[in-house]
Chain A
Amino acid sequence: MFVTSAFAQESAPATEGAHTGTEGDTHSGTGVPAEAHGMFPPFDPATFPSQLLWLAITFGLFYLFLKKVVMPRLGGILDVRSDRITQDLDQAARLKGEADAAVAAYEQELAEAKAKANTIGQQANDAAKAEAEAARKKVEAALDKKLGEAEASIASIKANAMKEVGTIAEDTASAIVEALVGGKTGKAEIAAAVKSVAR
């Protein structure tokens, strides 16, 4: 192609120079400055002392500047940050511990209060039971007393009645005897007979 060949003409001497690197002044036509000696510039030993010297000066100063100024500062920034993060994490852990302790204390208090409430309830329950028991006993005692009295009165009434029974039996017996036998029977006789029968 037309274009490529045109370029090849221009670039050929240069690439040739790059390969051989030892050509003389044959390439002066390509505009190479006089101090380059027509040599591939990176391989020109004439420039070595100057480049090494300035490399040593610039890199040396750069190294010192980084070592003395930049790196302590960067290291400081990063240390401060990591310290701060550690501190914050510690504080968070501490606060969490405090919160946990508070929760535990609250739960303990709650448990204590529950236990207290239970004992109070139990006590009230026991007291109420004891009171009820006492009242029941009192009532029972009163009832027992009344029962005893009633029984005693029944017994006395019964005894009286039994006593009456003798008289009634004597009366009845005398009436029967009178009706059957006729005539009067001695009162004492009948009483004795009744007594012997009742026995």
Chain B
Amino acid sequence: MAADKVDPIHQFHIVKLIPINVGGYDLSFTNSALFMVATVLVASAFLYLSTSSRSLIPGRLQSVSEMGYEFVSNMLRDAAGTQGMKFFPFVFSLFMFVLVANLLGLFPYFFTVTSHIIVTFGLAALVIGTVVVYGFTKHGLGFLKLFVPHGVPVFLLPLVVLIEVISFVSRPVSLSVRLFANMLAGHITLKVFSGFVVSLSALGAVGVAGSVLPLAMAVALTALELLVAFLQAYVFAVLTCMYLNDALHPGH
């Protein structure tokens, strides 16, 4: 059926590969889980194999790994200072996971892990959870100073505190929705334009000629999505660094 081929939502369907049901919860190994495993394997294998020679003068692949390492390292140090470096493995894992998941999703017929809000929300909740737990263990109730900026007139304080609390609570939402929505919208757009190519080509010679335009568009969009895949991983990591900075230095 033609509709099947061009349904832009079809790519987001979760398919159970190994059904697992524990205590009424569906914990099946799905295509989403498969691509999480693939993401982890690809990222781990790349980082592990590219650095296996430990060359003093890096080869191409090793410099890519080193670039990623130093990129995240500088990002974290700029945002959260040297104290923030204890979160370096966490931020680096997040960045690599999101980046590789986004990039893998660009391959045709591949499932995009980060196009599901529960996945991005899980990662965002992990970030905010780390911030809250670390903030309270490190500063105790002093962590609440985060919501009381310095130099605000007393009569404005309740309002400002309210705004700060709302902004803090909305962080996991904005963090997860930003990544999710970008990946979702990108993949739908890509699918729609690819769908044009298929349905136009079915119309004969004129359609084949006319399908050149959406094909070019799909190619351009793929390039754009490549940029978005990297950019969203970067944005996710940068925001994580900034939130961790709040946990380290709650007073503004």
Interface residues of A (CB under 8 A from B): 3, 6-7, 10-11, 14-15, 17-18, 29-33, 35-36, 40-44, 46-56, 58-59, 61-63, 65-67, 69-71, 73-78, 80-81, 84
Contacts and interface: CB of A to CB of B under 8 A. Distances in A.
Chain B interface size, under 10 / 10 to 19 / 20 to 34 / 35 or more? 35 or more
Q: Which of A3, A52, A54, A81 has most chain B Cβ within 10 Å? A: A54
A76 to B, nearest CB: 7
Give the secondary structure class of B's interface: helix
Contacts of A77: 51, 54-55, 58, 62, 66
B240 interface: no
A15 B185 CA distance: 11
A65 B39 CA distance: 13
A109 to B, nearest CB: 41
15 contacts: A7-B196, A10-B2, A42-B12, A42-B180, A49-B25, A50-B20, A50-B30, A54-B30, A59-B36, A59-B93, A62-B44, A63-B90, A65-B40, A66-B44, A84-B56
B118 A51 contact: yes
Interface of B: 1-4, 6-10, 12-16, 20, 25-30, 32-33, 36-37, 39-40, 43-44, 47-48, 51, 54-56, 58, 62, 65-66, 69-70, 88-90, 92-93, 96-97, 115-119, 122-123, 126, 180, 184, 188, 192, 195-196, 199-200, 203, 207, 210
A55 B40 contact: no
Nearest to A62: B40
A59 B30 contact: no
B51 A11 contact: no
Given A11-B195, A58-B33, A31 B93 contact: no
Given A50-B27, A59-B93, A31 B195 contact: no
Which 9 pairs show the lowest CB-CB distances between chains A and B? A54-B33, A67-B89, A58-B36, A31-B4, A41-B12, A62-B40, A63-B93, A47-B14, A49-B25
Contacts of B55: 77
A43 B121 CA distance: 12
A41 to B, nearest CB: 4
Nearest to A9: B3
A181 to B, nearest CB: 144
A1 B163 CA distance: 50
A51 B122 contact: yes
